[in-house]
Every structure is written in structure tokens, then in C-alpha cells.
Amino acid sequence: MIQAVFTGLFGLAAIWFGVVVFRTASMVRSALALLFSMAAIGGMFLAMEAEFLGVLQLMMMATEMAIMAIFMVMYMMDPGGLGGMDMTHQKRASLVAGALGALGSLAVAVLAGWGPVEERVPAATAQVRGLGIEIMERSMLVFETAGVTILTAMIAATAIAIQRRR
Amino acid sequence: MATLTVALIVGAVLFGIGLYGALSQTNLVMIMMGVELMLGAAMVNLVAFWRFLHPEVYAGQMFVLIVMTVMALEMTVGFGIATGRFRAKGSVEMEEAGDLKG
């Protein structure tokens, strides 16, 4: 019961800050709201006893969103939101699509039979060990593919962003 | 069961918010924020499924690591495109981008 309460509280925080991302005019506030939303998701992981993933999520998102805030200030025409610019389009269609996506997912979440729920979970150290073995055995190819994809993305991003000499 | 349902409901709502953001925003960085929220929703679902349905199988956690990687890649390539676009056109407004040609 306590687990459900904490998961719900962190979930409400994630949803609230997720809404703030698109409600505030200030881009810096948007980035910070996304940071808090992602941190709340990390809190949900911790509440669901996935300690390693929770800590990883908190650490990764803190740096990722800080970088995002810098880019937003660099590239936005009105990063402070002081000009009152409207930076949205097709609002109604987006709202309908978002609502339909959420309602469809909610229907599946509530109506589907998920089978028996496991109450016990391995200890945090056993989880890390199990994940390590999973990475090094069954999912090794997937993990290696992710590594190669990261390298490819780094090269592609640099190639796109680099200034062309004419 | 209650916690699983709570987590799935949170995931569903976050997905809806992210989808709205990705479709409604005109700025590339804001569109990326919407996509990040949708991926965050996917991660919530994956952790909930791992925790409450198969905690002894770590493929669920592995999948979360892959989604985190995808989030980082999306940001890397997205900011690369944003930088290229800003150099070429001085703006990252997607309304002005008929194509991605620099």
C-alpha cells in the first residue's frame, strides 16, 4: 500500500511537471520542469524497488536536462518567454491526438488482465548482479548494438553540426 | 496489483502529454522534450512490468537501459540537427523547415 502511495505521488509530480513543460513561456523553466518530471520518474523507479535504474535515471536526466537548458537558451528566439510568443501550431489536433493516446493506453492499463503480481523482488545487489549477467550473457548482442549505435550517432551528430568550409 | 495499475496510469498520462507536446510545438528543442516525455512513459511501464510481473527476469531492466540509450541518442542527433539548422537558417523553428537541407 505504501509502495502504491509513493509511486502515485511521484507519478503525480511527473505528470504535473510534464504539463508545466508545455504550459510555461520560459524555455529555461520548461527544461527545469522536464528535469523535475524525469527526476520524479526516477523516484517512481526507486519506489518500485528498481534502485539501480532509479539512481541511473536521476543522474542521467540531471545532466541531460542541464545540457538541454543550455541548448534552449542558445537556440530559442525568446528563451525567457518575455515576448509572449506563441510557439505552437495545430493545437486542437495535437490535443485530440494526445487525449486519444492517453485514453487508449489507460484503457489497456486498466482493462487488460496482467496475470498474477509478484510481491517479492530480489535485493538491490542481486538486481545489479542479475542485470550484469543479463548484459554479458543473453542480451550481449543487444548491448553491443546499442554501443555501436551510440558511436554512429556521435559521428552523425558531429558531421551534421560541424561548420562547413566553403 | 494497485501499484502496477498506478504506474501504468501514470505512464499512459505521460505518454499523452508527450504526444501532445511533440505534435503541437513548433520549436525543434520543444518537440524533442515531448519525445523525451513519451520515452519516459515507456520506461515507467517497462519498470512496472519488470517489477510486478517478472522480477526474476532482467530483460525488462535491460530494455529500460536501451530506452535510456535511445533518449540520449535522440538528444545527440536532435541537437546536431538543431546546430546545423541554426547555422544555416538562424532558427530552429520547424514551421520554416520545409526540408532538412542545409
The residues, any chain, with a CB within 8 Å of residue A16's CB and separated by 6 or more, are none
The residues, any chain, with a CB within 8 Å of residue A80's CB and separated by 6 or more, are A26, A27, A28
- The verdict on residue A49 lying in a domain is yes
Q: How confident is the model at residue A31 (pLDDT cuts 50, 70, 90)?
A: confident
Q: A72 and A144 share a domain?
A: no
Closest in A48, A138, A153 to B77, CB measured: A153
Mean pLDDT, residues A156-166 taken together: 79
Q: How confident is the model at residue A26 (pLDDT cuts 50, 70, 90)?
A: confident
Residue A164: domain span = 123-166
Mean pLDDT, residues A92-109 taken together: 91
Backbone angles phi, psi at A116, to 5 degrees: -65, 140
Q: By the CB < 8 Å criterion, does B17 face chain A?
A: yes
Q: A75 and A7 share a domain?
A: yes
- The verdict on residue B102 lying in a domain is no
The residue among A57, A80, A103 that closes a domain is A80
- The verdict on residue A55 lying in a domain is yes
Nearest CA in chain A to B23: A94
User: Which pLDDT tens digit goes with each residue over B40-69?
Assistant: 999 999 999 999 998 888 998 999 999 999
CA distance B98 to chain A (A): 15
- The verdict on residue B42 lying in a domain is yes
Which pLDDT score, from 0 to 100, does residue B7 have?
A: 93
Q: How confident is the model at residue A141 (pLDDT cuts 50, 70, 90)?
A: very high
The residue among A29, A52, A80 that closes a domain is A80
Q: What single-letter DSSP state applies at residue A25?
A: S
Judged by DSSP in three states, A137 sits in: coil
CA angle A18/B80/A56 to nearest 5° reads 50
- The verdict on residue A109 lying in a domain is no
Number of domains forming the structure of chain A:
2
Closest in B2, B25, B33 to A88, CB measured: B25
User: Which pLDDT tens digit goes with each residue over A52-92?
Assistant: 999 999 998 888 888 888 877 777 766 666 666 677 778 88
CB contact under 8 A, A115 and B53: yes
Which pLDDT score, from 0 to 100, does residue B43 have?
A: 93
Domain CATH for B44: 1.10.287.3510
Which pLDDT score, from 0 to 100, does residue B93 have?
A: 75
Which range, A61-75, A115-129, B86-100, has the best average confidence (pLDDT)? A115-129
Q: Are B11 and B41 in contact (CB under 8 A)?
A: yes
Q: B102 or B1: whose pLDDT is higher?
A: B1
Position A3 pLDDT exceeds 90 = no
Average pLDDT, chain A: 86
